[in-house]
Structure 1
Amino acid sequence: MNNALHTKLSSIHFLTAPWYRTVMLALTFFAFLPQGGLVHATENCELSVRTNKSDAIYTVGEPVMFIIELSPPSNNRVEPVRVNWRTSVDGQPPFHEGEATLLDGKATVTGQLAQPGFLRCEVSLPAGANDTPLKAVAGAAVSPTEIAPSLPAPDDFDDYWQAQIALLRSKPFDLSMTPLETTASNSHLKIFDIQADAPGDIHVSGYLAYPKDATEGTLPGILVFHGAGVGGASLPWVEKWASLGMIVVNVNAHGIPNGQSKEFYDKLKQGELKDYSRKPWPNRDEVYFRKMFLRNLCALDILAAQPQWDGHTLITYGTSQGGAQSLSVAALDPRVSFAVAGVPAMCDHSGMTAGRATGWPRSVPVDSEGHPDSDALEAMRYYDMMNFAARIQIPVAMTVGFIDKVCPPTSVYAAYNNLGGPKDIFNDLPTGHANSPEATAYMKQKVIDHIQSRQDSPTR
């Protein structure tokens, strides 16, 4: 155990008691059929839950009302009907549970938080003899912009990453760019498979594309990153962005060959890359994401070296693990002008020290009392988007799913609140760990708006 970290952690109060309360505000008498069975919804009914505020944003101590509704009314249903409800902070224990009786198809559950965070309400209606169970979930933000870092960044955070970058760029990397054949659908583009080897055993593998009629110094650039998983770079992704008039690099997360069979990637997924994200690394140098982040910086160098790049507009873009990569590159390289991160992973690895849910990949083990492994936590603090965010001064756009259990909204806001420059966030109320069509449109529009603003600005 690292003694310095142990001393620091020993002074932190771990929240093990509930810091929220939930009160059911509904009548609680039960209705039974003459045969003694509880009445259930028919297959044509829909169970829903929502907050009484359209934006689902509340303040600390303010009652949060969840409205439960079963619709449409059915002649096959005898009122009242009971549903089960459960509330929690970000879907983690402790849970408050109960039953609500629906009168005219509705009931309410009310709770509140004593500190900033996200309150989650899950409701369910058990299946009857001929029905399927119904479930619904909603989330509410409580003073989300006041969610503070669970721990500060390590004192040598900047020194560590500057040393890593210095090693990466200590000598030129070896680069090969292999032109790919185009088809009728992408014949307006030039597309390359790129492979590069850089100091520190860093291998880059991806696709690069741009409009074939582009002239020197005319194209904004975008780096697109992958979410969790094992696979090659995506041709459709580079084709999409290049068709919008950009030079794009999509780098696969692992530096593995592109364009291989499903069997090839499945073998890696079950072999050397199995559980690549979840191991409790004993120190910061052995964390898998170190090479991933450096690989991304090398990919940025490749894009910036292309004569078609305009030299001033460079966007990083990704979702989940890709969102984390987007933020880390934006923090580490001053050439990035704008970052987009959808439901970003790797936020608030130390959340358990404040009684909060941590973001994916949750690679810091905790004991039976909720205390983290100090060595693993110390290592992951160098890979926390909450800490990278504090070093980003450029504009950033993010999305957050209010019912996301993979990258809980509290963890996302812990990073968002630490951003140092202009920022905007899309609160995706009904969405879990995904980008809804609305969130995807938001992210794309933010990219387009940024490019337009750079073209309109005389100083850029």
Structure 2
Amino acid sequence: MNSLVLNAARLITIATLVHATSMTGALHAADEYSVTVTADHQDAIYEAGQQAAFLITVKHGDQPVSDGTVKYTIDDFTRGNQSAVFAEGELTLGKDPSRAVIRGDKAGFLRCQVTYQPDQGKAVNAIAGAAFSPAQIAPSLPVPDDFDEFWSDQKRQLAEIPINPKLTPVDSGDAAIESYDVQVPCWGGAPVSGYFAKPKSAAAKSLPAILWVHGAGVRSSILSNAVRGAQSGMLSMDINAHGLANGKPDDFYAQASSGPLKNYRSIGRQDRNTIYFRGMFLRLVRAIDFLAAQPEWNGREIVVIGHSQGGGQAIAAGGLDPRVTMIAAGVPAICDHSGVIAGRVNGWPKLVPMTDDGVPDPSGLEASRYVDAVNFASRCQAQAIMSVGFIDSVCPPSSCYAAYNALQGPKRILHEPLMGHAAPPHIQDAFFQSVLDHVKLSSVETP
């Protein structure tokens, strides 16, 4: 892969994630003890009803430990619910790996958490996951009957607001690239705020477009994303999630995070007209309006790419706007808000509050259905690439797969049995290479 692709692939920075944590099946303590857990299928994928075994080994330095015991628990991610513990116990170590065996009776994911306590020093832990018929994971609730009507009305109100972008030149650091701070009026409470870049002297109708969207948190748009996308031959725009001014001191964003945007994910969550993600998703459509209005846009490809909250936004953009031809959604959030209804753990941001009786709040549950990426996925015809971590406790794999299975266009998913909530370099490389392949293939096939 050439340096241009490598540089572009690095655009999906760990800073855009909710939590930049990657877990593997082997975690090492300072005293050099380590525990490794892996499934007995290399891909950790099984059919529902099939038996899976988690293979557990302990080492002290490079030497296997064959004396002592390990404790394990196998559950389905629904913490605090004892009935969700499928198996637990203590296994004796020996020359061969210890085996924690479980049968997955239905489509879903199970994780095995292992602890080894040496005679001296701290306990050592490891986690691994396994999937059971993940392609059969269905939406936890149907799409609301008036889902399309609601969003059509939202987009109609957005269209009544002139685009009228304000572009302020900024230094791209590359003499071949023009770049700008962009503010675009939007319906929904805040403008689109981002950085936009394009190759200088590009011909009219010659360039595809890419929109970079952010994970959870409060920060500026990222100029380097916009610039590097342009260096790869695209109209490239990076927008922050909240319509905030760009390039401000860190204190500006810290104050917004602890002030008006504190716990933004819960703002207005009792009503579909006030729920915070409504405005965030409308900003996606308005950003696409801006890109599609550029004279250099080739009229064909628009890609939306992001991780975590950005992954959920990418799916929403693909479902809301038919101009989107590809989405790249890493460990997507905002999926399966009603998962608890189907006995699954809800995805981030755990949007639906629970009542004192331990059931979903009816108003919050109903409102959440209008901003669930699973429902947008069912309207998305775009090409898609997605990643899923089998031990991701932030955006659980069942929530990601509920969205993936609903996608209507050509798609592929990158499975990571030992990954938590992360965007490691090989995922970033695969995503951006898929973007470049999509643009090249479509450009060749389209007259």
Is the shorter-chain TM-score for this pair beyond 0.5, marking a shared fold?
yes
Aligned length, in residue pairs = 415
Partners of 1:85 and 1:124 within 8 A in 2:
yes
1:213 is matched with which residue? 201
Please give the per-residue CA displacement for 1:41-83, whole angstroms capped at 9, x wherever unaligned. Answer: 99233211000000110011100100001136767x8742211
The AA in structure 2 aligned to 1:327 is: I
CA deviations 1:316-366 (Å, max 9, x no partner) are 111111111111111111111111111110111111011101100002112
Partner residue of 1:181? 171
Within the candidate set 125, 135, 146, 1:145 is matched to 135
Tell me which of the two structures has the higher relative contact order, counting C-alpha pairs closer than 8 angstroms and 6 or more residues apart: 2
Q: 5 Å matches for 1:3-152?
A: 43-71=31-59, 79-90=66-77, 92=79, 93=81, 94-95=84-85, 96-104=87-95, 106-129=97-120, 131-152=121-142
Once the two structures are superposed, residues 404-438 of structure 1 have per-residue CA deviations (whole angstroms, 9 ceiling, x without a partner) of 00100001101111111211111122111111222
Structure 1 counterpart SS, 2:409: coil
Distance 2:152 2:237 in 1: 23
- Output the CA distance in 2 between the equivalents of 1:193 and 1:73: 52
Say whether the 8 Å CA contact 2:196–2:238 is kept in structure 1. Answer: yes
Within 5 Å, give how 1:228-267 maps onto structure 2.
228-267=216-255
Secondary structure of the structure 2 residue equivalent to 1:330:
helix
1:165 is matched with which residue? Answer: 155
Among 269, 272, 277, the alignment partner of 1:281 is 269
List aligned pairs for 1:367-382, cutoff 5 A: 367=355, 369-382=357-370
- Alignment partners' CA distance in 1, 2:297 and 2:189: 27
Report matched runs for 1:345-364 at 5 Å.
Answer: 345-364=333-352
Deviation at 1:278, TM superposition (A): 3.0
Unaligned runs of 5+ in 1: 1-40
How many Å separate the matches in 1 of 2:442 and 2:62? 56
Q: Which residue of 2 aligns with 1:406?
A: 394
Which shifted more, 201-210 or 258-267?
201-210
**Greater mean alpha carbon deviation, residues 174-183 or residues 225-234:** 174-183
Contact 1:90 1:409 in 2 (8 A): no
Q: C-alpha separation between the residues in 2 aligned to 1:53 and 1:369?
A: 40
CA offset digits 1:135-167 (Å, max 9, x no partner): 111000000000011100110000000000000
Check the 8 A contact 1:204/1:299 in 2, yes or no: yes
| CA shift in 2, pair 1:104/1:280, >3 Å | farther
Kindly indicate whether the alpha-carbon contact (under 8 Å) linking 1:401 and 1:428 is maintained by their aligned counterparts in 2: yes
Identity %: 41
Aligned 8 A contact 1:349 1:381 in 2: yes
Deviations 1:175-213 (A, max 9, x none): 100111243xx2221100001223454411100001123
Residue 85 of structure 1 aligns to which amino acid in structure 2?
Answer: Y
1:271 lines up with 2:259 in the alignment: yes
CA distance in 2 between partners of 1:42 and 1:206 (Å)? 43
Given that 1:173 and 1:197 are in contact with CA atoms closer than 8 Å, whether structure 2 keeps it comes out as yes
> Closer, same or farther in 2 for the Cα pair 1:78/1:147, shift >3 Å?
closer
Read off the aligned partner of 2:72 and give its amino acid letter. Answer: W
- How much has 1:101 moved relative to structure 2? 1.1
Question: Residues 217 and 74 from structure 1, CA distance in 2 versus in 1: closer, same or farther, beyond 3 angstroms?
Answer: closer
Report the Cα distance in structure 2 between the residues aligned to 1:52 and 1:319, rounded to whole angstroms: 29
Give the aligned residue type for 2:231. Answer: S
* C-alpha contact 2:186 2:282 (8 A) present in aligned 1: no
Instruction: Tell me the distance in 1 between the aligned counterparts of 2:401 and 2:357.
Output: 26
Contact 2:77–2:345 (8 Å) recurs in 1: yes
CA distance in 2, matches of 1:232, 1:239: 15
Structure 1: how far apart are the matches of 2:436 and 2:36?
35
* Aligned residue in 1 for 2:20: none
Distance 2:310 2:388 in 1: 14
CA gap of 1:199–1:116, structure 2 versus 1, over 3 A, is: closer
CA contact (8 A) 1:82 1:125 kept: yes
Contact conserved, 2:161 with 2:185, CA < 8 A, in 1?
no
Q: Answer yes or no: is the 8 Å Cα contact 1:203–1:295 preserved in 2.
A: yes
After superposing the two structures, state which structure 1 stretch, 155-164 or 232-241, moved more.
232-241
Code of the aligned partner of 2:316: S
Tell me the secondary structure at the aligned position of residue 405 of structure 1: coil
Distance 1:293 1:112 in 2: 40
Q: Hey, what's the Cα distance between the residues in 1 that align with 2:268 and 2:243? A: 22
For structure 2, the 5+ residue unaligned runs are 1-28
Structure 1 residue 154 corresponds to structure 2 residue 144: yes
> Relative to structure 2, which stretch is displaced further, 154-163 or 299-308?
299-308
For residues 164 and 148 of structure 1, the distance between their equivalents in structure 2, rounded to whole angstroms, comes to 27
Q: Distance in 1 between matches of 2:305 and 2:71?
A: 40
Q: TM-score, normalised by structure 2?
A: 0.89
Question: What displacement does 1:133 show?
Answer: 2.3
1:60–1:114: 8 Å Cα contact kept in structure 2? yes
C-alpha contact (below 8 Å) 1:313/1:337 kept by paired residues: yes
Q: Deviation at 1:219?
A: 1.1
Asked whether the 8 Å contact 2:65–2:93 carries over to 1, the reply is: no
- Does the Cα contact within 8 Å between 2:32 and 2:61 map onto a contact in 1? no
Corresponding residue for residue 319 of structure 2: 331
> Does residue 388 of structure 1 match 2:376?
yes
CA–CA distance in structure 2, aligned partners of residues 347 and 372 of structure 1: 16
Contact 1:90 1:410 in 2 (8 A): no
**Cα 1:323–1:54, aligned 2, differ >3 Å: closer, same or farther?**
same
- Describe the superposition over 1:250-292 as per-residue Cα deviations: whole angstroms up to 9, x where unpaired: 1110001000111110000000000001347221011001111
Larger Rg: 1
RMSD (Å), alpha carbons: 1.8
Q: Quick check: 1:390–1:418 contact (8 Å CA) kept in 2?
A: yes
Tell me, in whole angstroms, the C-alpha distance in 2 between the residues paired with 1:79 and 1:423. Answer: 45
**Change in CA separation of 1:103 and 1:195 when aligned onto 2, cut-off 3 Å:** same
